[in-house]
Structure 1
C-alpha cells in the first residue's frame, strides 16, 4: 500500500480525536488496556486507525454512553458478534432506557407539581424517584444503629424540611459523585490521584446535606462501603471494584487535608 493510499484509508490519533470528539488521552488509554489498538502504522511509525478500528470505536462510544464499564465492553466486543448484532443490542438497551427515562420524567414532573404546592414526598414517591436506591429497611436499620448520635438527629432535622425538589437535588448530586469516581477509574487514575481525591471531596460535601461530615467521619463511612456487602454491591454495580476505589480515595483525600 502506498503512503497516499494508506492516508486515504487510515486515520491518525489526532484526526480521530478531532473528528469524533474523543480525547487523545482517552484513545491512548483504550490502546493501553487493549480495548482499541490502531491496526496500522504510517511509514514514519505513527499508529493509524483503519475503518474497522473506527467501527469498533463507534461501538465503544455507544456502550460508554450506556454507562457500561470498559471491562464489560471489551468482553462484548471480543465475543465474535458482528457490528449489526452490536447495533441491535445497543438499540434494545436504549429502548429499555427510554422507558425508564419516561418514568423518571413523570416522577420529576410530579415532584415539581408537589414542590409548587409545597407538599412533602411520600415513601411511594421517593421510591419512584430514587428507584432501587430507596429502601425503607436501610432507614430503619440506620435509626437503630445511630439514632442516639448527634449526626442522626442533625440529619432528621434537616431532611424533615426537604421538599421533593430538595430530594431531586440530592439524587442528582449523588449521581454526579458516582460519575466523578467512575470517570477517574475509566481514565486509569489511581485512587490517590488528584481527580479521585476531588471526587472524594464532592462525596463529603454531598453528605453534608444531611449532617456535618468531617474527614474522620467520612473515613468511617468509607470503611463501611467495603465492610458492608450492600454498600459494596451498590458501588460495584456502577463499576467493578468501585467500592474499594471510593474507600481508598476518601482516605487519600482525608490524608491530604489533615
Structure 2
C-alpha cells in the first residue's frame, strides 16, 4: 500500500506542509505511521479523510465541526460524498446563473439597456417569479412597489452584487443550521442578512418588527427554505432573527 510523506501529500492535495502539521497537532488528521526519525507517513485512509476535510472546508465548516463529523461513529463516507456531490452541483448551477447574469450586465453597460421588473427576478423560473410577485402584491402591495422602485434605481452591476452577496450569505447561514442561533458567528451572518434585506426593501433605519415578521415567514413557508433542511433551517432562521431583533430594541 502506498504511503506518502507530508511534503508529497501536501503537493498532491494542494495544501501547505504547515497546514498538515496543524491538522496533526489538533488531532484532525494524524499520520498512519511516525517513523523513528519523526517523519509522518500517510496511507489511503488518511488521504480519504483529508479529502473529506477539504470538502467540508469548501463549505465553510469550522475545523472543530469537521472533526466532530468525521469522528462520529455513524459517519458514512459514501453518504458524505453524495452530499458533497449534490452541494457542488448546486454551486455549479449558481455559478452558471451568475455567468449568464454577468453577460447580460456587460451587455447592458455596453449597449445601455435598461433594467425592467423581470430583471429583478432572474434566477427563478418565469412562471414561479410571476406567481411569487402576484402573491406578494396581494399581501404587501405598497412594500413591493416601493422595493421594486428602489431596486430599479440601482445600476445593474450594483444589483447583481447585491444578489450575489445575498446568495453567499444565505448559503453560509444554511451551513450553520446545526449551530447555536445565538452564537457570535451566526449573529454576524444574521446582521449581514439584515442589512441585505434592508437594501432589497429600500427602507433604511430600524426595521426590527418587519424583520422579525420575515423570520416567521421563513419558518412557516417552506418555499423560502426548500433544499436547506426545512423545517430545521426555517426554525433556525427564526430563532436567530428573533435574538437579533431583540438586540436592536
Question: What's the TM-score bracket when you normalise by the shorter of the two chains?
Answer: 0.5 to 0.7
Give the TM-score normalised by structure 2. Answer: 0.65
Stretches (4+) displaced over 4 A: 20-25, 36-42, 70-77, 92-100, 122-127, 131-134
User: Which of residues 152, 156, 165 in structure 1 aligns to 2:157?
Assistant: 165
User: Which of residues 114, 121, 134 in structure 2 aligns to 1:140?
Assistant: 134
Q: Find the aligned partners of 1:23 and 1:137 in 2 and give their Cα distance.
A: 54
1:139-158 deviations in Å (ceiling 9; x for gaps): 1111110114xx33431320
Q: Find the aligned partners of 2:21 and 2:236 in 1 and give their Cα distance.
A: 24
Which residue is equivalent to 2:12? none
In 2 relative to 1, CA 41–256 (structure 1 residues): closer, same or farther, beyond 3 Å? farther
**Secondary structure at the counterpart of residue 130 of structure 1:** coil
Which residue is equivalent to 2:77? 78
User: Which of residues 181, 188, 191 in structure 2 aligns to 1:191?
Assistant: 181
Which residue is equivalent to 1:53? 46
Which residue is equivalent to 1:218? 211
RMSD: 4.8
How far 1:59 sits from its partner (Å)?
3.8
Give the TM-score normalised by structure 1. Answer: 0.63
C-alpha contact (below 8 Å) 2:101/2:160 kept by paired residues: no
Q: Find the aligned partners of 2:51 and 2:99 in 1 and give their Cα distance.
A: 28
1:19 has 2:13 as partner? no
C-alpha contact (below 8 Å) 2:116/2:152 kept by paired residues: no
User: Which of residues 129, 142, 154 in structure 1 aligns to 2:146?
Assistant: 154
User: Which of residues 107, 110, 113 in structure 1 aligns to 2:104?
Assistant: 110
**Secondary structure at the counterpart of residue 141 of structure 1:** helix
In 2 relative to 1, CA 118–64 (structure 1 residues): closer, same or farther, beyond 3 Å? same
Which residue is equivalent to 2:166? 174
- Long gaps (5+) in structure 1: 1-7, 10-16, 43-47
Q: Find the aligned partners of 1:226 and 1:57 in 2 and give their Cα distance.
A: 36
Which residue is equivalent to 2:194? 204
- Long gaps (5+) in structure 2: 7-14, 35-39
How far 1:255 sits from its partner (Å)?
1.6
User: Matched residue pairs, number?
Assistant: 222
